[in-house]
Amino acid sequence: MNKKSVLYLENGEVFQGLSFGYEGETAGEIVFNTSMTGYQEIITDPSYNSQIVLMTYPHIGNYGTNDEDIESSKSAAKGLIARNFCDFPSNHKSSLTLNNYLIKNNIVGIHNIDTRKLTKIIRNEGAQKCIITSMSDNIEYFKNKLMETPDMIGNDLTKKVTCNEIYEIEGKKDNKRVFVYDFGCKDNILKVLNLKFGLNLIVGPCDTKPKIIKEINPDGILLSNGPGDPAASKYAIENIKEILGYKPIFGICLGHQILSLSLGFKTFKLKFGHRGANQPVMNILDSKVEITSQNHGFAVENKNIQDVEITHINLNDKTVEGIRSKKLKCFSVQYHPEASPGPHDSYRYFKEFYEML
């Protein structure tokens, strides 16, 4: 962990630090997350596929990792950046240090750098590609490596993180059945639907055809979170268009964006995205403010669509955070009502979906 490592940004900035986690090299889009806790949930969230996560909270690793607080069975983030890295966790649930967890899951880390300066660069200049390596210090090599790294705009990543085939999760006998489109679904979404509400779940790949959905004949459909540019998932948008109005639909994060695109909205890339557990959102319908957990780099354009109303607005930048259509029996939110470790201000939308069924 004392081996020298380099972080090179697309804008030419170089940060010298120390390596931790898996020793090697990684490249991807650098994004920052303002959460104080939840680093294990973050690095296992499929929505972070192809991204390198900068934690703005300076002290990372102090409670270790465990087998419960994961959002997918495999690592999602390509790298982790921290100011102060702690390898001596104090937590009765901890089964593995963060360092060993990163090694086990092939995630490259760098620490002992000025994360405040780095965050300001991303905030002012926008998300950009970067490389972390302890294998080289050649600037020309870094430039060539980043040229080979795909841009996020136009990049469909859902097929990299979706399940391979349809599977079922049994709920309470005679309870409702929900088909879950897996665009990179977090485990906690499935747990809430199955364990809290007793729903029987049929989870399917991101490109499941509407014909198969209708053969299954579920009581409702959930569009999960996931990574990449929503507009690039053209097959998903066309599939959702075919089942609008068929059964109640609830979309979360990427699912919200895909539902919006299928209804006629457009999406655009945010300068540096919304990532953290402290994003304020106003519910226009009741004027209540929710503190939300978010992780997305794209947003839905604010425009008027017949039979659709915008229900939620981000109070920081006024971007669209929720929509609904009573006529088509669908609604969605840009953030995570199932958020683990929290906050849980928005948990009620699962209940709303359950009642729609």
User: Which sequence positions are flagged as catalytic?
Assistant: 253, 336, 338
- 8 A C-beta contact, residue 105 and residue 79: no
Q: How far apart are CA 120 and CA 103, in angstroms?
A: 29
- Distances, alpha carbon 107 to alpha carbons 19, 159, 245, in Å: 11, 20, 42
E strand intervals along the chain = 4-9, 14-21, 25-33, 51-55, 59-60, 79-81, 84-85, 108-111, 128-133, 167-169, 177-182, 200-205, 220-223, 249-252, 267-283, 288-300, 309-314, 320-325, 330-333
64: left (phi over 0), alpha (psi -120 to 50) or beta: left
**What's the CA dihedral at 346, 94, 185, 297 to 10 degrees?**
70
**Exposed / middle / buried, residue 354 (Cβ in 10 Å: 0-12, 13-18, 19+):** buried
Q: How far apart are CA 354 and CA 357, in angstroms?
A: 5
